[in-house]
């Protein structure tokens, strides 16, 4: 069932995001063509060239923002608006619905990143491009020479962390919308309220940490010393622990929001 849900969610994303991604590639291509017909010391040329660069940057930003907004809007529309009457009468569990929406959002987030990367490659095609790839290859080679397979582990951990971080951000939005739909009216407003509440809680926790650090500096100094000593003795293990621990925290947080959203959808659905 998840496969079927993903198929239809994919279609709903594709029809909106794919054209934008193609536009980005188109602008990048135009930018490259402009560079090919360079006219030195021409103010008109430099205006056109700068405009195409600005346009490309704006298109990339719009695409990234649109990916996030679309992920949130499709979740709300598909599950808590009139489309929810169809979605929730399909023989599918709430977990499957959330998982499918999350999967498609991640696929398109990856698609957006890839599109932007390809657009940069097109716009810088030629010497700049070759130099950039050479530099990246050199840095990676150096890394492998120095730390060997640890480099692969780092790259893998960073990738997992990025995926889990995006999943967590999306799950926070899903959670807010799920709580928001409980309201008899002004559901979106409540969802924003919940988001603001979560932000406030994290700020309070952060501030509390700073206050504790000010009140008991010795305790923090001791903690810092212990960590610094451990990091010095086990350099690689320490950085792996930081990356994996961070990823695990993202996973746990996302799992909590997933479970709450699922429970709300299962036991407190309020399609009014």
Partner 1 sequence: MSELLRCDGLCKNYGKKVALDHISLSVENGKIIGLLGPNGAGKTTLIKIINGLLTPTSGGVMINGMTPSVETKKLVSYLPDVNYLYHWMTVEQIVSMFSEFYEDFRTELAYEMLGRLGIDKKAKLKTLSKGNKEKMSLILVMSRNALLYVLDEPIAGVDPATRDYIITTIINNYNPQASVLISTHLISDIEDVLDDVIFIKDGRIVLHNTVDEIREEHHMSVDELFREVFKW
Smallest separation, CB 199 to partner 1 (Å): 28
- Which residue, 87 or 115, is less far from partner 1 as judged by CB? 87
Smallest separation, CB 86 to partner 1 (Å): 5
Smallest separation, CB 167 to partner 1 (Å): 24
The whole-angstrom separation of Cα 266 and Cα 261 is 9
Q: Are 1 and 96 in contact (CB under 8 A)?
A: yes
- Which residue, 37 or 85, is less far from partner 1 as judged by CB? 85
Maximum C-alpha span of the chain: 68
- Which residue, 11 or 186, is less far from partner 1 as judged by CB? 11
- 181 burial (CB, 10 Å; 0-12 / 13-18 / 19+) is buried
- Which residue, 134 or 268, is less far from partner 1 as judged by CB? 268
Smallest separation, CB 92 to partner 1 (Å): 7
**Which residues touch 247 (CB under 8 Å, ≥6 apart)?**
157, 160, 161, 164
- Which residue, 129 or 270, is less far from partner 1 as judged by CB? 270
- Which residue, 93 or 129, is less far from partner 1 as judged by CB? 93
Smallest separation, CB 268 to partner 1 (Å): 6
Provide the token pair at 47.
């205006």
Residues making contact with partner 1 (CB under 8 A): 1, 4, 8, 11-12, 15, 82-86, 88-93, 184, 267-271
Closest CA to 167 of 212, 110, 112: 110
Residue corresponding to tokens 């923002």: 65
User: Angle between the 94-123 and 43-80 helix axes, to the nearest 10 degrees?
Assistant: 170
Residue 104 C-alpha from the chain's centroid: 12
The total of other beta-carbon atoms located within 10 Å of residue 261's CB is 25
- Which residue, 15 or 146, is less far from partner 1 as judged by CB? 15
Closest CA to 102 of 178, 25, 18: 178
Provide the token pair at 165.
């971080």
Smallest separation, CB 8 to partner 1 (Å): 6
Smallest separation, CB 266 to partner 1 (Å): 9
Closest CA to 253 of 148, 174, 157: 174
């Amino acid at each position: 069932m998840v496969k079927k849900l993903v198929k239809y969610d994919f279609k709903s994303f594709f029809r909106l995001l794919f054209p934008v991604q193609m536009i980005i590639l188109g602008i990048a291509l135009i930018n490259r063509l402009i560079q090919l017909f360079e006219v030195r010391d021409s103010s008109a040329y430099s205006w056109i060239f700068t405009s195409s660069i600005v346009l490309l940057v704006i298109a990339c930003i719009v695409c990234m923002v649109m990916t996030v907004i679309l992920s949130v809007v499709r979740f709300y529309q598909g599950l808590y608006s009139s489309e929810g009457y169809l979605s929730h009468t399909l023989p599918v569990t709430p977990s499957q619905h959330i998982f499918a929406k999350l999967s498609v959002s991640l696929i398109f987030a990856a698609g957006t990143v890839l599109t932007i990367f390809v657009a940069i490659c097109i716009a810088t095609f030629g010497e700049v491009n070759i130099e950039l790839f050479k530099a990246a290859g050199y840095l990676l080679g150096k890394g492998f020479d120095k730390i060997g397979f640890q480099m692969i582990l780092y790259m893998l951990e960073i990738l997992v962390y990025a995926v889990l971080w995006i999943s967590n951000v999306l799950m926070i939005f899903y959670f807010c919308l799920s709580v928001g739909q409980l309201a008899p009216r002004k559901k979106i407003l409540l969802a924003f309220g919940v988001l603001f509440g979560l932000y406030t809680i994290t700020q309070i926790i952060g501030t509390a940490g700073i206050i504790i650090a000010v009140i008991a500096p010795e305790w923090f100094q001791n903690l810092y010393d212990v960590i610094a000593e451990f990091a010095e003795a086990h350099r690689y293990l320490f950085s792996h622990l930081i990356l994996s621990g961070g990823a695990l925290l993202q996973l746990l947080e996302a799992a909590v929001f997933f479970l709450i959203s699922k429970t709300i959808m299962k036991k407190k659905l309020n399609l009014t």
